[in-house]
Protein backbone atom coordinates (compact mmCIF):
# COMPACT_ATOMS: atom_id res chain seq x y z
CA UNK A 1 0.00 0.00 0.00
CA UNK A 2 1.36 3.42 -0.98
CA UNK A 3 2.09 5.94 1.77
CA UNK A 4 -0.46 8.71 2.31
CA UNK A 5 1.11 12.19 2.23
CA UNK A 6 -0.67 15.51 2.77
CA UNK A 7 -0.85 17.65 -0.38
CA UNK A 8 0.64 21.11 0.22
CA UNK A 9 1.41 22.24 -3.31
CA UNK A 10 0.91 21.42 -6.98
CA UNK A 11 3.25 21.78 -9.91
CA UNK A 12 2.32 22.25 -13.52
CA UNK A 13 2.41 18.84 -15.16
CA UNK A 14 1.49 16.89 -12.01
CA UNK A 15 -0.91 14.05 -12.71
CA UNK A 16 -4.12 13.28 -10.82
CA UNK A 17 -5.76 9.88 -11.25
CA UNK A 18 -9.47 10.03 -12.14
CA UNK A 19 -11.97 7.35 -13.02
CA UNK A 20 -9.60 4.65 -11.80
CA UNK A 21 -7.66 4.40 -15.06
CA UNK A 22 -7.19 7.95 -16.39
CA UNK A 23 -5.11 10.96 -15.50
CA UNK A 24 -5.67 14.70 -15.47
CA UNK A 25 -2.60 16.84 -15.95
CA UNK A 26 -2.40 19.88 -13.67
CA UNK A 27 -2.22 23.10 -15.67
CA UNK A 28 -0.40 26.31 -14.76
CA UNK A 29 -3.53 28.06 -13.46
CA UNK A 30 -4.41 25.30 -10.97
CA UNK A 31 -0.80 24.94 -9.86
CA UNK A 32 -0.60 28.67 -9.15
CA UNK A 33 -3.96 28.81 -7.35
CA UNK A 34 -3.36 25.83 -5.06
CA UNK A 35 -2.07 26.75 -1.57
CA UNK A 36 -1.34 24.82 1.64
CA UNK A 37 -4.60 23.81 3.30
CA UNK A 38 -6.47 23.66 -0.02
CA UNK A 39 -8.11 20.44 -1.16
CA UNK A 40 -8.55 18.58 -4.43
CA UNK A 41 -11.65 16.45 -4.88
CA UNK A 42 -12.10 13.99 -7.71
CA UNK A 43 -15.73 13.78 -8.83
CA UNK A 44 -16.07 11.33 -11.68
CA UNK A 45 -13.55 12.65 -14.19
CA UNK A 46 -13.51 16.20 -12.75
CA UNK A 47 -10.78 17.49 -10.47
CA UNK A 48 -12.19 20.21 -8.21
CA UNK A 49 -10.07 22.74 -6.33
CA UNK A 50 -11.43 23.80 -2.93
CA UNK A 51 -9.56 26.72 -1.31
CA UNK A 52 -9.03 26.35 2.42
CA UNK A 53 -11.28 29.32 3.23
CA UNK A 54 -14.27 27.77 1.41
CA UNK A 55 -13.61 24.39 3.02
CA UNK A 56 -13.56 26.02 6.45
CA UNK A 57 -16.82 27.94 5.89
CA UNK A 58 -18.58 24.76 4.80
CA UNK A 59 -17.13 22.68 7.65
CA UNK A 60 -18.28 25.18 10.28
CA UNK A 61 -21.79 25.30 8.80
CA UNK A 62 -22.12 21.51 8.60
CA UNK A 63 -20.75 21.14 12.11
CA UNK A 64 -23.32 23.58 13.46
CA UNK A 65 -26.21 21.73 11.78
CA UNK A 66 -24.91 18.35 12.99
CA UNK A 67 -24.57 19.74 16.51
CA UNK A 68 -28.20 20.88 16.47
CA UNK A 69 -29.64 17.43 15.75
CA UNK A 70 -29.68 16.18 19.36
CA UNK A 71 -31.00 19.43 20.90
CA UNK A 72 -33.77 19.42 18.27
CA UNK A 73 -34.71 15.87 19.29
CA UNK A 74 -35.45 17.18 22.80
CA UNK A 75 -37.92 19.79 21.47
CA UNK A 76 -41.64 19.13 21.41
CA UNK A 77 -43.80 18.88 18.34
CA UNK A 78 -45.65 21.97 19.57
CA UNK A 79 -42.39 23.92 19.55
CA UNK A 80 -41.73 22.89 15.95
CA UNK A 81 -45.28 23.93 15.05
CA UNK A 82 -44.66 27.32 16.67
CA UNK A 83 -41.51 27.77 14.58
CA UNK A 84 -43.37 27.36 11.31
CA UNK A 85 -46.10 29.80 12.33
CA UNK A 86 -43.63 32.40 13.54
CA UNK A 87 -41.53 32.05 10.39
CA UNK A 88 -44.67 32.52 8.27
CA UNK A 89 -45.84 35.47 10.35
CA UNK A 90 -42.50 37.22 9.93
CA UNK A 91 -42.84 36.92 6.16
CA UNK A 92 -46.13 38.80 6.49
CA UNK A 93 -44.73 41.56 8.70
CA UNK A 94 -44.38 44.72 6.53
CA UNK A 95 -41.31 45.94 8.41
CA UNK A 96 -39.50 42.63 7.92
CA UNK A 97 -40.65 42.30 4.31
CA UNK A 98 -39.20 45.76 3.60
CA UNK A 99 -35.80 44.60 4.84
CA UNK A 100 -35.95 41.43 2.77
CA UNK A 101 -36.99 43.29 -0.36
CA UNK A 102 -34.21 45.83 0.04
CA UNK A 103 -31.66 43.00 0.13
CA UNK A 104 -33.38 41.30 -2.79
CA UNK A 105 -33.35 44.46 -4.88
CA UNK A 106 -29.61 44.72 -4.36
CA UNK A 107 -29.17 41.09 -5.40
CA UNK A 108 -31.38 41.53 -8.49
CA UNK A 109 -29.59 44.71 -9.57
CA UNK A 110 -26.20 43.06 -9.17
CA UNK A 111 -27.31 39.95 -11.09
CA UNK A 112 -28.78 42.04 -13.92
CA UNK A 113 -25.57 44.07 -14.16
CA UNK A 114 -23.66 40.81 -14.66
CA UNK A 115 -26.07 39.62 -17.34
CA UNK A 116 -27.63 37.00 -15.10
CA UNK A 117 -31.25 35.88 -15.19
CA UNK A 118 -33.47 37.36 -12.47
CA UNK A 119 -36.62 35.37 -13.35
CA UNK A 120 -36.54 33.30 -10.16
CA UNK A 121 -34.58 35.76 -8.06
CA UNK A 122 -37.13 38.53 -7.48
CA UNK A 123 -38.88 38.24 -4.11
CA UNK A 124 -42.31 39.40 -5.26
CA UNK A 125 -45.73 39.13 -3.61
CA UNK A 126 -46.47 35.79 -5.27
CA UNK A 127 -43.23 34.23 -4.02
CA UNK A 128 -43.77 35.50 -0.48
CA UNK A 129 -47.35 34.20 -0.49
CA UNK A 130 -46.20 30.77 -1.68
CA UNK A 131 -43.55 30.68 1.06
CA UNK A 132 -46.13 31.53 3.71
CA UNK A 133 -48.52 28.92 2.33
CA UNK A 134 -45.80 26.27 2.42
CA UNK A 135 -44.75 27.10 5.97
CA UNK A 136 -48.33 26.87 7.17
CA UNK A 137 -48.70 23.51 5.47
CA UNK A 138 -45.83 22.34 7.65
CA UNK A 139 -47.37 24.06 10.67
CA UNK A 140 -50.52 22.00 10.18
CA UNK A 141 -48.68 18.73 9.53
CA UNK A 142 -48.69 16.36 12.55
CA UNK A 143 -45.41 15.61 14.29
CA UNK A 144 -43.59 13.17 12.00
CA UNK A 145 -41.09 11.92 14.56
CA UNK A 146 -41.54 8.48 16.11
CA UNK A 147 -44.57 7.63 13.99
CA UNK A 148 -45.05 3.84 14.17
CA UNK A 149 -45.09 2.40 10.65
CA UNK A 150 -45.19 -1.31 11.53
CA UNK A 151 -45.31 -3.66 14.51
CA UNK A 152 -44.59 -7.35 14.97
CA UNK A 153 -45.96 -9.03 18.11
CA UNK A 154 -44.34 -12.08 19.68
CA UNK A 155 -45.18 -14.03 22.82
CA UNK A 156 -43.99 -11.81 25.65
CA UNK A 157 -42.48 -9.08 23.49
CA UNK A 158 -42.92 -6.96 20.37
CA UNK A 159 -40.89 -4.95 17.87
CA UNK A 160 -42.09 -1.57 16.60
CA UNK A 161 -40.73 0.09 13.46
CA UNK A 162 -40.77 3.87 13.93
CA UNK A 163 -39.84 6.81 11.74
CA UNK A 164 -36.75 8.69 12.84
CA UNK A 165 -34.79 11.71 11.60
CA UNK A 166 -31.82 11.25 9.29
CA UNK A 167 -29.71 14.01 10.85
CA UNK A 168 -28.21 17.02 9.08
CA UNK A 169 -29.40 17.45 5.49
CA UNK A 170 -27.28 19.45 3.06
CA UNK A 171 -28.89 21.50 0.30
CA UNK A 172 -27.42 23.25 -2.69
CA UNK A 173 -30.09 25.38 -4.34
CA UNK A 174 -30.24 27.63 -7.34
CA UNK A 175 -30.66 31.34 -6.57
CA UNK A 176 -34.29 31.26 -5.45
CA UNK A 177 -35.19 32.96 -2.15
CA UNK A 178 -38.21 30.69 -1.60
CA UNK A 179 -35.99 27.67 -0.92
CA UNK A 180 -36.01 28.43 2.80
CA UNK A 181 -39.71 27.58 3.05
CA UNK A 182 -39.06 24.33 1.16
CA UNK A 183 -36.00 23.30 3.15
CA UNK A 184 -37.62 24.16 6.47
CA UNK A 185 -39.82 21.10 6.02
CA UNK A 186 -37.02 18.81 7.19
CA UNK A 187 -37.31 20.36 10.65
CA UNK A 188 -40.84 18.93 10.95
CA UNK A 189 -39.38 15.43 10.69
CA UNK A 190 -36.63 16.22 13.21
CA UNK A 191 -33.78 16.94 10.81
CA UNK A 192 -31.57 19.99 10.60
CA UNK A 193 -30.57 21.77 7.40
CA UNK A 194 -27.43 23.39 6.04
CA UNK A 195 -27.92 25.37 2.83
CA UNK A 196 -25.72 26.81 0.13
CA UNK A 197 -27.82 29.05 -2.13
CA UNK A 198 -26.90 30.33 -5.59
CA UNK A 199 -24.57 33.30 -5.40
CA UNK A 200 -27.09 35.67 -6.98
CA UNK A 201 -29.44 35.28 -4.00
CA UNK A 202 -26.95 35.18 -1.11
CA UNK A 203 -27.79 38.67 0.12
CA UNK A 204 -31.49 37.89 0.15
CA UNK A 205 -30.87 34.56 1.86
CA UNK A 206 -28.72 36.21 4.52
CA UNK A 207 -31.49 38.70 5.24
CA UNK A 208 -34.11 35.92 5.49
CA UNK A 209 -31.94 34.06 7.98
CA UNK A 210 -31.24 37.19 10.04
CA UNK A 211 -34.75 38.60 10.14
CA UNK A 212 -37.00 35.52 9.88
CA UNK A 213 -35.41 32.10 10.24
CA UNK A 214 -33.14 32.55 13.26
CA UNK A 215 -35.60 34.70 15.26
CA UNK A 216 -38.39 32.19 14.60
CA UNK A 217 -36.23 29.26 15.72
CA UNK A 218 -35.20 31.14 18.86
CA UNK A 219 -38.74 32.23 19.72
CA UNK A 220 -39.97 28.64 19.40
CA UNK A 221 -37.22 27.31 21.66
CA UNK A 222 -35.51 25.35 18.87
CA UNK A 223 -31.73 25.37 18.38
CA UNK A 224 -30.88 28.29 16.13
CA UNK A 225 -28.50 26.08 14.16
CA UNK A 226 -31.39 23.89 13.02
CA UNK A 227 -31.14 25.86 9.75
CA UNK A 228 -27.70 27.12 8.77
CA UNK A 229 -26.69 29.13 5.71
CA UNK A 230 -23.25 28.66 4.14
CA UNK A 231 -22.06 32.24 3.76
CA UNK A 232 -20.02 31.87 0.60
CA UNK A 233 -20.66 32.73 -3.04
CA UNK A 234 -18.08 30.22 -4.26
CA UNK A 235 -19.08 26.97 -5.94
CA UNK A 236 -16.20 25.42 -4.02
CA UNK A 237 -18.12 25.90 -0.76
CA UNK A 238 -20.89 23.71 -2.16
CA UNK A 239 -18.39 21.06 -3.19
CA UNK A 240 -16.81 21.16 0.27
CA UNK A 241 -20.19 20.84 1.94
CA UNK A 242 -21.17 17.81 -0.14
CA UNK A 243 -17.76 16.25 0.51
CA UNK A 244 -18.44 16.34 4.27
CA UNK A 245 -19.39 12.82 5.31
CA UNK A 246 -21.22 14.15 8.38
CA UNK A 247 -24.22 14.92 6.17
CA UNK A 248 -26.99 12.35 6.32
CA UNK A 249 -28.40 13.34 2.92
CA UNK A 250 -27.25 15.68 0.14
CA UNK A 251 -29.90 17.43 -1.97
CA UNK A 252 -28.98 19.37 -5.11
CA UNK A 253 -31.45 21.44 -7.07
CA UNK A 254 -30.82 22.97 -10.45
CA UNK A 255 -30.10 21.13 -13.67
CA UNK A 256 -27.46 19.64 -15.86
CA UNK A 257 -23.79 19.02 -15.26
CA UNK A 258 -23.50 21.09 -12.07
CA UNK A 259 -26.05 18.91 -10.25
CA UNK A 260 -24.49 15.69 -11.52
CA UNK A 261 -21.09 16.94 -10.36
CA UNK A 262 -22.40 17.68 -6.86
CA UNK A 263 -23.95 14.24 -6.72
CA UNK A 264 -20.63 12.66 -7.64
CA UNK A 265 -18.90 14.59 -4.85
CA UNK A 266 -21.40 13.36 -2.24
CA UNK A 267 -21.41 9.77 -3.47
CA UNK A 268 -17.62 9.68 -3.31
CA UNK A 269 -17.78 9.96 0.48
CA UNK A 270 -20.77 7.61 0.78
CA UNK A 271 -23.52 10.20 1.35
CA UNK A 272 -26.90 9.37 -0.23
CA UNK A 273 -28.13 11.98 -2.67
CA UNK A 274 -31.35 13.38 -4.10
CA UNK A 275 -30.58 15.15 -7.35
CA UNK A 276 -32.90 17.49 -9.18
CA UNK A 277 -31.49 16.73 -12.59
CA UNK A 278 -32.22 18.00 -16.06
CA UNK A 279 -35.90 18.74 -16.58
CA UNK A 280 -38.00 19.20 -19.66
CA UNK A 281 -41.35 17.44 -20.02
CA UNK A 282 -42.57 15.48 -23.03
CA UNK A 283 -46.10 15.47 -24.44
CA UNK A 284 -47.17 12.53 -26.62
CA UNK A 285 -50.25 12.88 -28.81
CA UNK A 286 -52.07 9.61 -29.53
CA UNK A 287 -53.95 8.79 -32.73
CA UNK A 288 -57.21 9.86 -31.05
CA UNK A 289 -55.85 13.07 -29.48
CA UNK A 290 -58.43 15.82 -29.17
CA UNK A 291 -57.11 18.98 -30.85
CA UNK A 292 -58.51 21.37 -28.23
CA UNK A 293 -57.10 19.31 -25.37
CA UNK A 294 -53.69 19.09 -27.04
CA UNK A 295 -53.59 22.85 -27.68
CA UNK A 296 -54.54 23.65 -24.09
CA UNK A 297 -51.94 21.21 -22.77
CA UNK A 298 -49.15 22.82 -24.80
CA UNK A 299 -50.10 26.42 -24.06
CA UNK A 300 -50.63 25.82 -20.34
CA UNK A 301 -47.32 23.94 -20.11
CA UNK A 302 -45.35 26.86 -21.57
CA UNK A 303 -46.33 29.61 -19.14
CA UNK A 304 -42.77 29.87 -17.77
CA UNK A 305 -39.47 27.98 -17.94
CA UNK A 306 -39.00 25.58 -15.08
CA UNK A 307 -38.13 21.89 -14.96
CA UNK A 308 -41.69 20.70 -15.66
CA UNK A 309 -42.25 22.96 -18.68
CA UNK A 310 -43.07 21.08 -21.87
CA UNK A 311 -39.90 20.65 -23.90
CA UNK A 312 -40.72 18.03 -26.54
CA UNK A 313 -43.99 17.21 -28.32
CA UNK A 314 -44.46 13.99 -30.31
CA UNK A 315 -47.23 13.77 -32.92
CA UNK A 316 -48.21 10.50 -34.68
CA UNK A 317 -47.81 10.23 -38.44
CA UNK A 318 -51.51 9.39 -38.82
CA UNK A 319 -52.51 12.83 -37.45
CA UNK A 320 -49.49 14.90 -38.43
CA UNK A 321 -51.32 16.93 -41.09
CA UNK A 322 -53.72 18.19 -38.40
CA UNK A 323 -51.76 18.16 -35.15
CA UNK A 324 -48.44 19.73 -36.17
CA UNK A 325 -50.33 22.92 -36.97
CA UNK A 326 -52.27 22.67 -33.70
CA UNK A 327 -49.03 22.46 -31.74
CA UNK A 328 -47.51 25.39 -33.64
CA UNK A 329 -50.54 27.55 -32.95
CA UNK A 330 -50.47 26.62 -29.26
CA UNK A 331 -46.78 27.51 -28.93
CA UNK A 332 -47.41 30.82 -30.66
CA UNK A 333 -50.32 31.46 -28.28
CA UNK A 334 -48.03 30.84 -25.30
CA UNK A 335 -45.68 33.47 -26.70
CA UNK A 336 -48.48 35.97 -27.22
CA UNK A 337 -49.59 35.48 -23.63
CA UNK A 338 -46.14 36.69 -22.60
CA UNK A 339 -46.17 39.47 -25.19
CA UNK A 340 -43.36 37.91 -27.23
CA UNK A 341 -42.80 35.46 -30.08
CA UNK A 342 -41.81 31.82 -29.72
CA UNK A 343 -39.33 29.32 -31.13
CA UNK A 344 -40.01 25.76 -32.27
CA UNK A 345 -37.36 23.18 -33.15
CA UNK A 346 -38.73 20.62 -35.62
CA UNK A 347 -37.42 17.32 -36.90
CA UNK A 348 -37.33 16.78 -40.66
CA UNK A 349 -40.47 14.65 -40.43
CA UNK A 350 -42.32 17.45 -38.62
CA UNK A 351 -41.06 20.09 -41.04
CA UNK A 352 -42.63 18.14 -43.90
CA UNK A 353 -46.07 18.79 -42.40
CA UNK A 354 -45.69 22.55 -42.05
CA UNK A 355 -47.83 24.51 -44.47
CA UNK A 356 -47.58 27.93 -42.89
CA UNK A 357 -46.02 29.34 -39.76
CA UNK A 358 -47.99 31.46 -37.27
CA UNK A 359 -46.81 35.04 -36.96
CA UNK A 360 -43.94 35.51 -34.53
CA UNK A 361 -42.89 31.85 -34.63
CA UNK A 362 -39.21 31.12 -35.27
CA UNK A 363 -38.73 27.60 -36.67
CA UNK A 364 -35.42 25.70 -36.56
CA UNK A 365 -34.81 22.20 -37.96
CA UNK A 366 -32.96 19.69 -35.76
CA UNK A 367 -31.95 16.03 -35.87
CA UNK A 368 -33.92 13.32 -34.06
CA UNK A 369 -30.97 12.82 -31.72
CA UNK A 370 -31.59 16.32 -30.30
CA UNK A 371 -35.08 15.49 -29.02
CA UNK A 372 -33.76 15.30 -25.46
CA UNK A 373 -32.07 18.71 -25.50
CA UNK A 374 -33.59 20.98 -22.86
CA UNK A 375 -34.23 24.51 -24.13
CA UNK A 376 -33.30 26.92 -21.34
CA UNK A 377 -35.42 29.85 -22.49
CA UNK A 378 -35.77 32.99 -20.41
CA UNK A 379 -38.79 34.86 -21.81
CA UNK A 380 -39.48 33.47 -25.32
CA UNK A 381 -41.22 30.04 -25.15
CA UNK A 382 -39.25 27.31 -26.85
CA UNK A 383 -39.85 23.61 -27.50
CA UNK A 384 -39.32 20.75 -29.96
CA UNK A 385 -41.88 19.07 -32.21
CA UNK A 386 -41.33 15.61 -33.72
CA UNK A 387 -43.46 13.37 -35.91
CA UNK A 388 -43.26 9.72 -34.86
CA UNK A 389 -44.86 6.48 -35.97
CA UNK A 390 -47.21 6.12 -33.01
CA UNK A 391 -47.43 6.26 -29.21
CA UNK A 392 -45.15 3.27 -28.75
CA UNK A 393 -42.51 4.88 -30.98
CA UNK A 394 -42.77 8.08 -28.94
CA UNK A 395 -42.30 6.15 -25.69
CA UNK A 396 -39.24 4.44 -27.15
CA UNK A 397 -37.75 7.81 -28.08
CA UNK A 398 -38.59 9.18 -24.64
CA UNK A 399 -36.80 6.28 -22.98
CA UNK A 400 -33.78 6.74 -25.28
CA UNK A 401 -33.31 10.52 -25.33
CA UNK A 402 -35.35 12.28 -22.65
CA UNK A 403 -34.20 13.14 -19.11
CA UNK A 404 -36.66 10.49 -17.85
CA UNK A 405 -38.72 13.02 -15.94
CA UNK A 406 -42.27 13.99 -17.01
CA UNK A 407 -44.43 12.38 -19.71
CA UNK A 408 -47.96 13.39 -20.66
CA UNK A 409 -50.08 11.45 -23.18
CA UNK A 410 -53.06 13.14 -24.84
CA UNK A 411 -55.68 10.53 -25.60
CA UNK A 412 -59.30 9.60 -24.96
CA UNK A 413 -58.35 6.01 -24.13
CA UNK A 414 -57.76 4.85 -20.58
CA UNK A 415 -55.96 1.84 -22.02
CA UNK A 416 -53.44 4.06 -23.81
CA UNK A 417 -52.79 6.05 -20.63
CA UNK A 418 -52.14 2.84 -18.71
CA UNK A 419 -49.93 1.45 -21.49
CA UNK A 420 -47.80 4.57 -21.51
CA UNK A 421 -47.61 4.52 -17.70
CA UNK A 422 -46.45 0.89 -17.81
CA UNK A 423 -43.77 1.40 -20.45
CA UNK A 424 -42.39 4.92 -20.11
CA UNK A 425 -39.33 5.27 -17.87
CA UNK A 426 -40.43 8.31 -15.85
CA UNK A 427 -41.60 8.98 -12.30
CA UNK A 428 -44.28 11.47 -13.38
CA UNK A 429 -46.94 10.49 -15.94
CA UNK A 430 -50.24 12.23 -16.75
CA UNK A 431 -52.74 13.01 -19.48
CA UNK A 432 -52.84 16.81 -19.34
CA UNK A 433 -50.60 19.82 -18.79
CA UNK A 434 -47.14 19.00 -17.48
CA UNK A 435 -46.77 21.77 -14.91
CA UNK A 436 -48.72 19.75 -12.30
CA UNK A 437 -45.42 18.12 -11.31
CA UNK A 438 -44.76 20.05 -8.11
CA UNK A 439 -44.92 18.80 -4.54
CA UNK A 440 -46.77 21.78 -3.12
CA UNK A 441 -49.21 22.06 -6.03
CA UNK A 442 -49.97 18.36 -6.46
CA UNK A 443 -49.44 16.82 -3.03
CA UNK A 444 -49.90 19.71 -0.62
CA UNK A 445 -46.31 19.30 0.61
CA UNK A 446 -43.61 21.89 -0.16
CA UNK A 447 -40.93 20.05 -2.08
CA UNK A 448 -37.23 19.94 -1.40
CA UNK A 449 -36.60 18.70 -4.90
CA UNK A 450 -37.90 16.68 -7.82
CA UNK A 451 -35.84 13.79 -9.10
CA UNK A 452 -35.70 12.51 -12.64
CA UNK A 453 -34.56 9.00 -13.49
CA UNK A 454 -31.46 9.80 -15.55
CA UNK A 455 -29.38 8.24 -12.80
CA UNK A 456 -31.73 5.29 -12.24
CA UNK A 457 -34.97 4.70 -10.41
CA UNK A 458 -35.28 5.69 -6.80
CA UNK A 459 -35.38 3.19 -3.96
CA UNK A 460 -38.38 3.23 -1.68
CA UNK A 461 -39.80 6.67 -2.45
CA UNK A 462 -41.37 8.77 -5.19
CA UNK A 463 -39.77 11.43 -7.32
CA UNK A 464 -40.92 14.23 -4.99
CA UNK A 465 -38.66 14.76 -2.00
CA UNK A 466 -40.41 16.64 0.78
CA UNK A 467 -39.74 17.18 4.46
CA UNK A 468 -42.11 14.34 5.26
CA UNK A 469 -40.03 11.86 3.26
CA UNK A 470 -36.69 12.70 4.88
CA UNK A 471 -36.57 9.98 7.49
CA UNK A 472 -35.16 6.59 8.32
CA UNK A 473 -36.76 3.72 10.25
CA UNK A 474 -35.57 2.51 13.64
CA UNK A 475 -36.66 -0.56 15.61
CA UNK A 476 -37.70 -0.52 19.26
CA UNK A 477 -38.12 -3.84 21.09
CA UNK A 478 -40.22 -4.00 24.28
CA UNK A 479 -40.27 -7.08 26.57
CA UNK A 480 -43.01 -8.12 28.95
CA UNK A 481 -41.43 -11.51 29.68
CA UNK A 482 -37.86 -11.19 30.99
CA UNK A 483 -37.30 -14.94 30.73
CA UNK A 484 -37.25 -14.86 26.93
CA UNK A 485 -34.02 -16.17 25.43
CA UNK A 486 -32.80 -17.60 22.17
Where are the CATH 3.40.605.10 domain residues in the chain? 55-275
pLDDT at 98 over 90: yes
The CATH class for the domain spanning 55-275 reads alpha beta
Whole-number percent of the chain with pLDDT over 90: 70
The CATH class for the domain spanning 281-442 reads alpha beta
Where are the CATH 3.40.309.10 domain residues in the chain? 281-442
Strand order in the sheet with 472-479: 148-154, 157-164, 472-479
* pLDDT at 277 (0 to 100): 65
Who has greater pLDDT, 61 or 469? 61
DSSP state of 453: S
- Euclidean distance between CA atoms 296 and 291, whole angstroms: 9
DSSP notation for 192-211: EEEEEE-GGGHHHHHHHIII
* pLDDT at 7 (0 to 100): 82
- CA–CA distance from 377 to each of 5, 335, 401 (Å)? 48, 12, 20
pLDDT at 161 over 60: yes
- Euclidean distance between CA atoms 15 and 8, whole angstroms: 15
pLDDT per residue as tens digits for the range 343-391 = 999 999 999 998 777 777 999 999 999 999 999 898 999 999 999 999 9
Enumerate the H helices of 91-209 as residue ranges: 94-113, 125-139, 179-183, 185-188, 202-208
- pLDDT tier at 426, thresholds 50, 70, 90: very high
Amino acid sequence: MAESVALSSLCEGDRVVVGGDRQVIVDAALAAAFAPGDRLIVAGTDVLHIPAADADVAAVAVGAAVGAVTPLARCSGASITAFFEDFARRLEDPSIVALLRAANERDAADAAARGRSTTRLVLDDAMLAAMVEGLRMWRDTPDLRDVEVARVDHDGWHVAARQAPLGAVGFVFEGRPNVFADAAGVVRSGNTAVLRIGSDALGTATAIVEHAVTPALSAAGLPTDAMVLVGSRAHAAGWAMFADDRLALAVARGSGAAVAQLGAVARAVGTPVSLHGTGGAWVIAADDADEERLAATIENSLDRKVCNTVNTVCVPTSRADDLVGVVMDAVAAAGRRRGVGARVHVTAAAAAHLDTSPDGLDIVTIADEELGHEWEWENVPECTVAVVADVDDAVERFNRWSPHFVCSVITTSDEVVERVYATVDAPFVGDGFTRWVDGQYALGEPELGLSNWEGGRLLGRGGVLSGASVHTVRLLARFNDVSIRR
